[in-house]
Amino acid sequence: MTEPTVLVVPTAASSVIGDTPLRPVRVPVGDRTVRIWLKLESENRFGSIKARTAEALLSWLEASGELRPGMRVVESTSGNLGVALAGLCAERGYHCTLVVEPTTPRSSVERMTAFGADVVTVPQVPGGRTLGARLEAVREILAMDPDAVWTNQYESPANPGVHEWQTAAELVNGAHDGRFDAVAVAVSTGGTLAGIARYFRENVPETRIIAADAVGSSALGGEPAERPFKLMGFGSGQASTFIEPHHCDHVIRVRDSAAAAACSLLLRRTGISLGGSSGAAVLAAVVRARLDPSLREIACVCPDSGEKYPQLTGTPAADMPDPDEEIRAALTALSHVNPEQKAGR
């Protein structure tokens, strides 16, 4: 059953969260040009889409009375959510403990601690199961501290809720000629995809929803597997509790190295820096555009920029051949991407 829309009233502290820009780029696909609109969430406060999620998670707990002044907020994070939670907790007077893993970007951890958060790093677990270790550490902290509250990005209805009433609504309001043919979203917890899908199913049902998941991820089902080139914030070691089958029209599995290659091509051709999950969404959009000639205007949710990710600072990934023929063809198309001179609304 689809959960009801969650309306979390933003506080004054969130006044610069949201209303991020849409920037169009053009990709030649066969005998036509597809316009891809990049929803640049790096323009949010704290530098990512997780500013929306963090504000919603905290407001949800405050509204319910579970979170009160002086208490401790606890969360498992791969980086971006932790930075946003640390900053908002510092402003609102909460203690903050964040559980990360060794591959969490060093710059993200430094920002968390600069905001005064306590950071706990769990060891890497083979087989793509480090998320389980992070969640176990969260439960141990909660058991030891009666004043600790878990924001629980993996199950809180505030996660998809904020993307339903805020992020998706912005996409529709900013759409060229009032609509997109498709929207592409990479998955991790699945909150962004679920919220956006709910809104479009209700308000613009003809828009196709494209989900990009990592090869080796369990976000959309299946067993987790080792991901040697793992990009943070893309895919998950457990299935999403938010995503339902009707949310996705198409699922595209993308290797981390291919997503990184897409980021490298976009930066080189357009000057736009994107994080790995953004590259995966763009790549999935191009894959579908090659297969469906009706797709000409596609929005891609781009959760953050790429500067803090070591895997994206060089270009080796762009030279890694991908075994999937459709992915290789999409990367070839992206090698000809160009920015559009006129900025999006």
Helix (H, G, I), strand (E, B) or coil at 213: strand
pLDDT reported for residue 320: 62
pLDDT reported for residue 201: 97
Chain centroid, CA 95 distance in Å: 25
Place of tokens 């959009």: 285
DSSP code of 17? S
Residue type at 190 in one-letter notation: G
Q: What is the mean pLDDT of residues 217-243?
A: 90
Overall pTM > 0.75: yes
pLDDT over 50 (residue 118): yes
pLDDT over 80 (residue 313): no
pLDDT reported for residue 177: 81
Contact (Cβ atoms closer than 8 angstroms) between residue 62 and residue 71? no
Alpha helices by DSSP H, listed for the chain, are 50-64, 80-92, 106-114, 130-144, 158-162, 168-174, 191-203, 256-270, 276-291, 325-334
Q: Distances in Å between the alpha carbon of 188 and those of 76, 154, 156, 191, 201?
A: 13, 9, 14, 8, 21
pLDDT reported for residue 129: 82
Contact (Cβ atoms closer than 8 angstroms) between residue 332 and residue 265? no
- Phi/psi class of residue 309: alpha, beta or left (left: φ > 0; alpha: ψ in -120 to 50)? beta
Q: Strands 32-40 and 22-29: what pairing?
A: antiparallel
pLDDT tier for residue 343 given thresholds of 50, 70 and 90 = very low
Phi and psi angles of residue 197, each rounded to the nearest 5 degrees, phi first: -60, -45
What digits encode the pLDDT tens for the residues 46-56?
999 999 999 99
pLDDT over 70 (residue 317): no
